[in-house]
Homo-oligomer: A and B are copies of this chain.
Amino acid sequence: MAISEFGLIQQFFTSQSLINAVNRLGVGDDCALISVPEGQELALTVDTMVEGVHFFSGTDPEQLGRKLLAVNLSDLASMGATPVSATLALTLPEVNETWLKSFSKGFLNLAREFSIDLIGGDTTKGPLTLSVQAMGIVPEGLALKRSTAKAGDLIFVTGLGLGDAGLGLKIEQGYSSVFSAEVLRKFHLPEPRVAEGIKIREYASSCIDLSDGIASDLAHILEQSAVGACLDWDKIPLSQAVKDYINATGDWGLPLSAGEDYELCFSVAPDKVDAIDIDCTQVGVIESKAGLRIKRLNIIEELEVKGFEHFS
């Protein structure tokens, strides 16, 4: 059965009615309409995932749909924004109804969890490429930025284990002798730290989400804030699986350079640390001296930035 483009979007992605009052018009017209409440700004982010680059061919479509939206919500979380809506640009080699049904289920289930409407999209024929733009709202002046960290601020991360997603990827690729269902789950089903972002916007001085590894992501804060930082290896939260992996391989850089943890990394001025009301771990300090360092085995060494870059 041939399904028209309109049919595609409408059949799989359109819910009966809009669930978030901010959204005034959804799929079906030339544009969607959003009414941003007074005193709020609209935050928006776009992320694209390409088959064979960002995910393996044959990835479970339900997990893929969920993860595609989750990584965009993670960007909203890192600004302290409350997600309200998303659009989806879907480029597909063919109409596979089973795949679409499963993909849309994963996408829409997460959308519902956060009261987000899918308000627009475009379906085109071509190599499998998935692009989401997510929109959120944040009180004027409260959006967390990368450019506002100050020397002396303390650095925190959410979550209990950096590098879990990176180890999950290694397990998926068959490159790890350590197996852990939990880190595999973190790789396939990251949880965007939306609630945490909303809380910390009241007291954090800067924030970024960990998509490329803390060495690479924190470097963006340091560069844009014109500061440096020193991490404390002993404080980096590590899961037992990652500890086992490091013991087996000696690859202690994994939790610093592996991507896709989607935890928040944020800084807080010393006099605001008492306000912290989320689960997080202090892992370092912002310094005035440029560069990113790590204290490990009582030695302070420069950390080379090597996050994932597609074209380098």
Assuming the contacts A48-B91, A89-B89, asked whether A33 and B43 have C-beta atoms less than 8 A apart, the reply is yes
Contacts of A75 in B (CB 8 A): 30-31
**A14 contacts B by Cβ under 8 Å:** no
Interface residues of A (CB under 8 A from B): 2-5, 8, 24-25, 28-36, 38, 41-54, 75-76, 78-79, 81, 87-89, 91-92, 94-95, 119-127, 129, 131, 133, 135-136, 138, 140, 143, 145-147, 207-209, 224, 309-312
Residue from A3, A32, A81, A311 with most neighbouring chain B CB atoms (10 Å): A311
A73 to B3, CA, bound (A): 27
Q: Shortest distance in angstroms between A67's beta carbon and chain B's nearest beta carbon?
A: 15
Instruction: Tell me, in angstroms, the Cα distance from A244 to B121 when the chains sit together.
Output: 38
Give the docked Cα–Cα distance between A80 and B133 (Å): 22
Are the CB atoms of B95 and A146 closer together than 8 Å? no
Shortest C-beta distance, A51 to chain B (Å), equals 8
| Docked complex Cα distance between A35 and B36 (Å) | 8
A31 and B224 in contact, given A38-B38, A48-B124 (Cβ under 8 angstroms): no
Known: A4-B309, A89-B131, A145-B25. A41 touches B47 (CB 8 A): no
Contact A41 B30, beta carbon cutoff 8 Å: no
Decide: B79 and A29 in contact? CB cutoff 8 A: yes
B45 in contact with A79 (CB, 8 Å): no
Instruction: Select one of B32, B124, B125, B207 contacting A44, CB under 8 A.
Output: B32
Give A144 Cβ to nearest chain B Cβ, in Å: 8
> CB distance B310 to A124 under 8 Å?
yes
